[in-house]
Amino acid sequence: MASVSIVMGSDSDMPVMAKAAAVLDEFGISYEMRIISAHREPDEFFEYAKTAEERGVKVIIAGAGMAAHLPGMCAALFPMPVIGIPMHTTSLGGRDSLYSIVQMPSGIPVATVAINGGQNAGLLAVKILATSDVSLLDKLKAYTVEMKEGVMKKDARLNEIGYKAYAEEKSK
């Protein structure tokens, strides 16, 4: 039984959606991952979204580009949180996707992360699940400490060797 469902309309979205999956893996959260087009296979999409709750899904992460209807349609059919990831597009740089996802009508909210924001979508799903799971909340707090320590290490290294040497190290 999956706690999170990751869905994308095309396999071209996989590099971004894989970042959300990697975060869920890191936190030990079960998930399913699907490629379902709301436009090209509407019957399959409706079945997927309408049965997500009975499959144990608590959060859907939906990525979409261009018209970006997938997250909003998930939110229309699924009663729990939906996180939308707008995909970068060649024609409008992802702004089309972003606008389509954030401009949902009243009553159909979709939490939206940055264009290609797979990692943040995964983290937001973790945070949502952590509201009712103390052990997950503890892991999330530890993750935050690790991020802080990582930045502090980088700062110490920068101050130790100077910006030119640091930039050279980063370019390798």
> Across residues 2-13, what is the average pLDDT?
95
Query: 150 and 113 in one domain?
Result: no
Q: What is the CATH number of the domain that holds 26?
A: 3.40.50.1970
Provide the domain count of the chain: 2
Residues 81 and 154 reside in one and the same domain: no
Which residues are CB-neighbours of 103 under 8 A, at least 6 positions away? none
Residues 50 and 122 in one domain: yes
Q: How many CA atoms lie within 13 A of 170 on its CB side?
A: 10
Same structural domain for residues 11 and 33?
Answer: yes
Q: Which pLDDT value is given to residue 25?
A: 98
Given pLDDT bands bounded at 50, 70 and 90, which one contains residue 124? very high
Q: What is the largest CA-CA distance in the chain?
A: 60
Q: For residue 65, what are its two tokens? A: 């580009």
Task: Give exposure, 24-49, as e/b (b: 16+ Cβ within 10 Å).
Answer: beebebebbbeebbbeeeeeebeebb
Supply the pLDDT for residue 21.
98
Whether 125 and 165 share a structural domain = no
pLDDT computed for residue 1 by the predictor: 82
Q: Containing domain of residue 87, as a range?
A: 4-132
- The span from the CA of 79 to the CA of 72, in Å, is 12
Q: Which percentage of the chain shows pLDDT scores above 70?
A: 100
Residues 89 and 153 both lie in one domain: no
Residue appearing with tokens 């993750």: 143
Mark whether 121 and 158 lie in a shared domain.
no
Q: Assess whether 144 and 84 both reside in one domain.
A: no
- Do residues 160 and 101 both lie within one domain? no
